[in-house]
């Protein structure tokens, strides 16, 4: 069956749309701020090498300065101590970078409550309407938080941003066969998660279970609840704990 021929025809005819879920990378891209004494990552920055000038008369190029966990990025299991024996970002099999995805939209609730936590009961209710979470696929969690991405202060919101409860993080890691969790916030955990027990439960349980994370996604509102094909493309940084990634969703129209 000429699957790829059919797919390319559908893309050309607009019957399959490519939705970019990636936040633009610039020096203004919000980055995580951990409290002292913990180390913090740098902001993204371009360092110009030449711009059609004496340093390179016919070419423009830059060095980039970035953290692994800057902007829309991929968390590999080895990012967390619970996953320290797991894969680094270069070891993730390419076949896992193209996978199904579902979108759990709780923006209506999270809009009025920046500390909203998704619970097992919310996921169960979603499943009763839309079917089970995808085996080997992404759970994309929409909160509407991408609307705050233009301002680092607003995006971090003094540690108040929506996330997932400890119980739900454990359940997703241990009782479901999802590939990973994608969110719109600066990390996969809630703003208040440093104070949870355990701290950062999504990182702790999901990465410990060999699952992945995707952060700072946008445009989830343009996706249907089910039937999404997700393409996530971290760089194969050897030994890396994560990488900025382009994340694209293929959607039937």
Q: How many residues bind Mn ion (CB under 5 A)?
A: 3
SS3 120: helix
Q: What is the 3-state secondary structure (H, E, C) of 144-156?
A: CHHHHCCCHHHHH
Residue 54 tokens read as 């004496």
Give the DSSP H or E segment for 128: helix 120-130
Nearer to Mn ion, 157 or 241 (CB): 241
Q: Is 189 an interacting residue with respect to Mn ion (CB under 5 A)?
A: no
SS3 247: strand
**Considering only 9-17, 109-117, 138-146, 235-243, which stretch makes contact with Mn ion by CB under 5 A?**
235-243
Nearer to Mn ion, 22 or 126 (CB): 22
Distances (CA, A) of 180 to 15, 118, 128: 27, 15, 20
Annotated catalytic residue within 79, 122, 148, 203: 79
Peptide bond between residue 37 and the one before it cis (omega within 30 degrees of 0): yes
**Residues in contact with Mn ion, shown as a per-residue x/- string from 51 to 70 under the rule CB under 5 A:** ------------------x-
Q: Is 75 an interacting residue with respect to Mn ion (CB under 5 A)?
A: yes
For residues 244 and 64, give the distance between their C-alpha atoms in angstroms, rounded to a whole number: 12
Contact 70, 215 (CB under 8 A): no
Nearer to Mn ion, 122 or 203 (CB): 203
Contact 26, 72 (CB under 8 A): no
Shortest CB 186 distance to Mn ion, Å: 8
Shortest CB 37 distance to Mn ion, Å: 20
Nearer to Mn ion, 170 or 203 (CB): 203
Q: Is 170 an interacting residue with respect to Mn ion (CB under 5 A)?
A: no
Q: Is 88 an interacting residue with respect to Mn ion (CB under 5 A)?
A: no
160: annotated active-site residue? no
Instruction: Write out the catalytic residue numbers.
Output: 79
Residues that bind Mn ion (CB under 5 A): 69, 75, 242
């Amino acid at each position: 069956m000429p699957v790829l021929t059919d797919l390319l025809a559908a893309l050309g005819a607009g019957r399959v749309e490519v939705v970019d879920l990636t936040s633009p990378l610039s020096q203004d891209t919000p980055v995580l701020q951990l409290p002292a004494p913990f180390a913090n990552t740098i902001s993204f920055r371009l360092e110009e090498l030449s711009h059609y000038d004496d340093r390179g008369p016919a070419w423009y190029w830059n060095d980039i300065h970035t953290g692994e966990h800057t902007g829309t990025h991929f968390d590999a299991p080895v990012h967390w101590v619970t996953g320290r024996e797991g894969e680094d970002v270069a070891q993730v099999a390419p076949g896992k970078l193209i996978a199904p995805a579902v979108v759990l939209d709780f923006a209506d609730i999270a809009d009025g409550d920046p500390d909203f936590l998704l619970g097992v009961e919310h996921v169960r209710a979603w499943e009763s309407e839309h079917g089970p979470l995808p085996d080997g696929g992404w759970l994309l969690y929409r909160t509407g938080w991408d609307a705050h991405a233009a301002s680092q202060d607003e995006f971090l919101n003094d540690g108040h941003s929506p996330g997932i409860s400890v119980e739900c993080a454990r359940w997703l890691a241990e009782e479901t066969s999802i590939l990973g969790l994608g969110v719109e916030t600066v990390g996969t955990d809630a703003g208040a998660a440093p104070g949870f027990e355990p701290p950062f439960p999504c990182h702790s349980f999901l990465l410990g279970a060999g699952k992945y994370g995707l952060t700072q996604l946008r445009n989830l509102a343009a996706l249907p609840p089910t039937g999404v094909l997700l393409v996530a493309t971290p760089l194969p940084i050897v030994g890396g704990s994560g990488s900025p990634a382009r994340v694209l969703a293929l959607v039937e129209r």
